[in-house]
Structure 1
Amino acid sequence: MTQGAVPVAQGAAFDFTGRVVVVTGGGRGLGRAIAEGFAHAGAKVAIAGRGAGIEQAAAEMGPAVRGYACDVANEEAYTNFVCRVADELGVPDVLVNNAGVNPWYKRPEDTPLAQWQEIIGVNLTGVFLGCKLFGTQMLARGSGSIINISSVAARSGLPRTAAYCAAKGGLEALTRSLAVDWAEKGVRVNSVGPGYFETDLTSGLRSNDSLSSMVLAHTPMRRFGRPQELVGICLYLGSGAASYVTGQSMMVDGGWTAQ
């Protein structure tokens, strides 16, 4: 086993006992499912979020999870978060850059610059900061796995979401570039692209018969994903089973991008 590789347990389970995992946006939705998945696999997990309830969310997830308030688009706040995690848990073995926002659905000609900048800031700049700050620690150690959560929006032109599509497309390009820069230094960088999942962020869409039918018609599996269905690919990419995998974008979308 290469230095720093996460061991794989016998059978289908992955053993992350003694490992440190960071999940941004880990208080709800897909991020929460990912954080819980790593915690159940034995990891010590740090979750970050802007909301005041992040510590409560961590408490609900069990003693293996700690919550930290952090605006990932703010370099000073992110730096403080990185220092706290290092002091309290250690240098992470796995970083999952999951934090993301898409609060506005507007035509591009009606999108104010401030709204464009907020979406780019959280979805792309925040990923860069996480990769840079935590990645520096991983590089010094000589091992680590970074998993950037992308979207079908990186591959498909979705209406009224120009900033979000641009941010996710940039995230996948950033993933490939970092993978090339850091491959020889023991740090792997990959991305995972979810399709439409059953989360609170899609509750409005799922309750709208017209929009829901449109999404399902374009999804070959004809259903929304369940948050737990994103966990396995993250456990794989964070483990030693993926020790020769870097610079890849793996879609978990029910077949959306296959069409």
Structure 2
Amino acid sequence: MASQTALEAAYRTLISRGRLSHDNGQAALVSRLAQLQTSLSQPRSKLNAPAPRGVYIYGSVGTGKSRIADLFAATLPAQISRRRIHFHEFMLDVHARLHTARSQSSFRGDPLIQIGMDVRKESQVLCFDEFQVTDIADAMILKRLFSVIWGTGGVLVGTSNRPPEKLYENGLNRDLFVPFIHQIKDRCEVWKMEGQDDYRTKDIDDPADRIEVLFLDHSRFEESLHSQLSGQALQHFEIAVHGNRGFSVSA
């Protein structure tokens, strides 16, 4: 019997402890990501040998995509650098790096090349949660950025609610984004997460235990808000935004 990977061992342990229930769709994904763990752990025979293909995972909400991806990232061998991050947060970081690069007096050429190299040096494996593209600023830079990351041996494992061809659907200048979709399909196996159960609500035995609060009457909402906040002192906060700017709020 072949030895199991750390991911497979962790998954089976969670099932045996009742933390997870066996699910065929999740088990199949664990097996596929275990193969990727094995490939990443093996030394590359040649310096220019291509990195293994990543996995782009999509499917309905609540099917366990993120849970398994979390487990994959957490059980990667220590020598494999990884970054587990929400895709939107990653793009905010990229835009911050772009701003820093362009504000330097020595700025020349396309800063995304150096940013891509820096991202790759920091992490061999990028694990994205909630991969979606809705912003034209993101859409226009992804191909250039990931050409560098993939070209230098980076590996992507991402989860999304939609397949690659549905990313940035009906977006402005989408034809300029389509080449990145082709890149995803070339550098990642596109994996559809099977399953109908929404595991976000599995632990709720009785639907009556769920508490939902809906405010349909604005006046009652304001009364409720006033009763909760009356007598409370306002606190002042400074919220940082990109470009070394910020604005003050009181709450």
Pick the TM interval, shorter chain.
Answer: under 0.3
Give TM-score scaled by structure 2 length: 0.27
